[in-house]
Amino acid sequence: MFRVRDYAERKLPIQCVAHRGFSGRFPENTLLAFRKAVEVGADLVEFDVRPTKDGALVVFHDEDLRRMAGRSERVEEVELSELRKLDLGMGQTVPTFEEVLEVVGGRVGMNIHVQRPGELVDRVVDMCREAGVVDSAFLAIAWEDEIRRVRSLYPDIWVCSLYRQGEPGLVDANIPLEVRLLQPGRGVVNRELVERAHGAGMVMGVFYGNTYSDIMWLSRLGVDGILTDFPDVFLEALR
């Protein structure tokens, strides 16, 4: 079973992070995609949490429904009951965060992207504690001030920094935040950056690698995890 501390201390082999579940073959961020990621052997699942109009927490990446449902509304403008009516393919609809915790909590690790600072982060923390997954989950947060707030207020919660993730200087920028986990975009990743992160006591889960060649290239750079839409390809390449 994945434990964040083992990952942060580099005690694990390179980790397979199923991006929005097994999203290369199943509808992204759905219960089916998460179940299939678990079945194929992913180490973690990555997903996004947003609030609805009526205060529910749902797992959905985009701000609006255009790409996934052909509608212009923002997720936060739609009530959960209406979101439940959406057909995302293969009989899947928008899941709640609670449902995802029930499906994957305690089975694999969780890389939880919280798409708004403040109250949403606090609610996600509370639900992770209630589900007993604090040791196997981490919150991916993009805002410098929010990272500082969470690190101060919730010292038992692991934070993965997305702050300046697309910039070559992201390691140095994150050292003052005292985070252990980084998630850079692959466009800035090279061996020197990975070694710089390791020297600073950080690990890197890189977004993203989908092909055999990209997965092998990133593994040779020494990264600690790879987000992928195709966890089956990752596992065939590296396990």
- Annotated domain spans of the chain: 4-45+111-238
**Which pLDDT score is estimated for 168?**
96
Three-class SS string for the chain? CCCHHHHHCCCCCCEEEEECCCCCCCCCCCHHHHHHHHHHCCCEEEEEEEECCCCCEEECCCCECHHHHCCCCEHHHCCHHHHCCCCCECCECCCEHHHHHHHHCCCCEEEEEECCCCHHHHHHHHHHHHHCCHHHEEEEECCHHHHHHHHHHCCCCEEEECCCCCCCCHHHHHHHHCCCEECCEHHHCCHHHHHHHHHCCCEEEEECCCCHHHHHHHHHHCCCEEEECCHHHHHHHHC
pLDDT score for 102 = 98
pLDDT at 37: 98
- What dotted CATH number matches 4-45+111-238? 3.20.20.190
Is the pTM for the entire model greater than 0.95?
A: yes
What percent of the chain has a predicted confidence (pLDDT) above 70? 100
Q: Which residues of the chain have pLDDT under 70?
A: none
pLDDT of residue 239: 87
